[in-house]
Amino acid sequence: MCSSSEIIIDEITGLIELSQAKNILIICGKKSFFESGASEKLEALKTYCNIYFFNNFSKNPTIEDIHNGIKIFKSKNIDFIIAVGGGSAIDTAKLIRAFGVLNKKISKSDIESKKDFAKSKIPLVAIPTTYGSGSESTQFAVIYIDNQKFSVNSQYLLPNFYVLESELCLSLPKDIAASCSIDALSQAIESFWSIKSTNKSKDYAKKAIGIIMENIEEACKGNKKSIYLMLQASNLSGKAINISTTTAPHAISYPLTIFHNIPHGHAVAITLGYFFEINFYCNKQNIQDLRGVAYLKETMQDLFNTLGCNNATECKQKWKELMRALNLETSLKKLQIDKNDIERISEYINIERLANNPVKISSKEIKDILYN
């Protein structure tokens, strides 16, 4: 099993010297790389090697984006990659490194087959400038093909190293900070109730939830200490979903983002609150977790307590209050999404993530949630 190690940003030059890298590819956001201060912090790398940039990719990276990045990777003989940005930049870097070493152009069938691939010898350092995705600590990468979301899963996607530095997140706009923050919290919560959860993943998730609940609002106001703690919590939530994967709220979120441009974390949060009740009020007919009804009820009650609530209804209400505190709209109707839109959304829900939810949920139930 591959592992990832935390370093400080000043240690990157040492890694480059150690690996004898000559050509570095920095995969980053067009604006965030400069606004975050990452550009200045990595300026010294120019004295060690050739620097190339790739920032021409979508917020939701497509297979075409990856092909374009691979062209640079191959033509410049890249031997070291640094990803700087949010989940999109880090996921793009993971995929370029993984597929760039293959002697063929990747296709939809390559993604759908979910076959593992050889470990790339190219070092990858991930530097998040948002505190939400936890992508620096996961072996997953999201890619979109024909408006459909796919999750590539391989231990060889995990970055070799990551940097968690709060200064790089200080310029994050408040709306993006809110969406990213609630994504980290959503990941931890979903990981806790996932049918694939383990004692280890639940421990990561519980720690992440505790840190996030104490710091999320202050971090979104720009408090440096809270931002650093949110980076740590996001990393923990990434480690949690790296074991358990996400569930129904994430499954439903993808078409909301693709077709209506609702930021990912916000799209997840819109439906997550309903699942406190859905998952708690399980029965023998709808439960998907093989550990049984009693186990799930105990797990959900543990989750309620961790969130500072007594029951599912309190949690649902607290979730909406948190969204409002972060200025995240809780109603799809107010986001100008009507019944016709919801019919289309329901056709693109990610079945794989839906299957990880501890309780089976029907298409009608999903539509009822979205109609609220």
**Segment holding 138, helix H or strand E:** none
Q: In this structure, what are the phi and psi dihedrals at residue 223, rounded to the nearest 5 degrees?
A: -70, 120
Show Cβ contacts of residue 113 under 8 Å, excluding neighbours closer than 6 positions. none
| Phi-psi sector, 23: left (phi>0), alpha (psi -120 to 50), beta | beta
Within 13 Å and on the Cβ side, how many CA atoms surround 89? 26
Residue range(s) defining the domain that contains residue 97: 5-168
Cα end-to-end span (Å), the chain:
43
Q: Is the per-residue pLDDT at 115 higher than 70?
A: no
| Phi-psi sector, 324: left (phi>0), alpha (psi -120 to 50), beta | alpha
Q: How many CB atoms lie within 10 A of CB 365?
A: 15
- Look up the CATH number of the domain holding residue 78: 3.40.50.1970
Structure tokens at 83: 């990803």
Q: Is the per-residue pLDDT at 161 higher than 90?
A: yes
> Which of 168, 190, 223 is where one domain is finished?
168
**Whether 131 and 273 share a structural domain:** no
Q: How confident is the model at residue 114, as a pLDDT? A: 64
Structural domain total, the chain:
2
Q: Is the per-residue pLDDT at 354 higher than 60?
A: yes
**Whether 67 and 188 share a structural domain:** no
**Whether 336 and 353 share a structural domain:** yes
DSSP letter for 36, please.
T
Within 13 Å and on the Cβ side, how many CA atoms surround 77? 5
> Which of 168, 200, 218 is where one domain is finished?
168
**Whether 247 and 349 share a structural domain:** yes
Q: Is the per-residue pLDDT at 97 higher than 60?
A: yes
**Whether 151 and 125 share a structural domain:** yes
**Whether 134 and 267 share a structural domain:** no
Q: How confident is the model at residue 103, as a pLDDT? A: 79
Global pTM reads 0.94
> Which of 168, 190, 206 is where one domain is finished?
168
* Cα gap 372→357, rounded to integer Å: 21
Type of residue numbered 144: Y
Tokens 């740590």 identify what position? 232
**DSSP-based helix, strand, coil % in the chain, nearest 5:** 55, 10, 30
Structure tokens at 77: 């003989």
Give the confidence band of 83 by pLDDT, cuts at 50, 70, 90.
very high
CB 70, CB 95: distance < 8 Å? no
**Whether 308 and 366 share a structural domain:** yes
DSSP string, 86-123: SHHHHHHHHHHHHHHTSSS---HHHHHHT---PPP-S-
Structure tokens at 367: 């539509």
**Whether 258 and 364 share a structural domain:** yes
**Whether 21 and 113 share a structural domain:** yes
pLDDT single digits (tens) 272-315: 999 999 999 999 999 999 999 999 999 999 999 999 999 999 99
Q: Is the per-residue pLDDT at 136 higher than 60?
A: yes
Q: How confident is the model at residue 338, as a pLDDT? A: 86
CB 164, CB 249: distance < 8 Å? no
CB 129, CB 107: distance < 8 Å? no
pLDDT single digits (tens) 26-78: 999 999 999 999 999 999 999 889 999 999 999 999 999 999 999 999 999 99
**Whether 216 and 297 share a structural domain:** yes
* Cα gap 124→158, rounded to integer Å: 9
Q: Is the per-residue pLDDT at 116 higher than 70?
A: no
Strands 80-85 and 23-28: parallel
- Look up the CATH number of the domain holding residue 202: 1.20.1090.10
Query: Which has the closest alpha carbon to 237: 107, 101, 138?
Result: 138
CA distances for 141 relative to 22, 56, 96, 344, angstroms: 26, 17, 11, 25
* Cα gap 19→344, rounded to integer Å: 49
**Whether 351 and 365 share a structural domain:** yes
Q: What angle do CA 315, 318, 322 make, to 5 degrees?
A: 135
Q: Is the per-residue pLDDT at 363 higher than 80?
A: yes
DSSP letter for 132, please.
S
Q: Is the per-residue pLDDT at 214 higher than 90?
A: yes
**Whether 161 and 207 share a structural domain:** no
Q: Is the per-residue pLDDT at 240 higher than 80?
A: yes
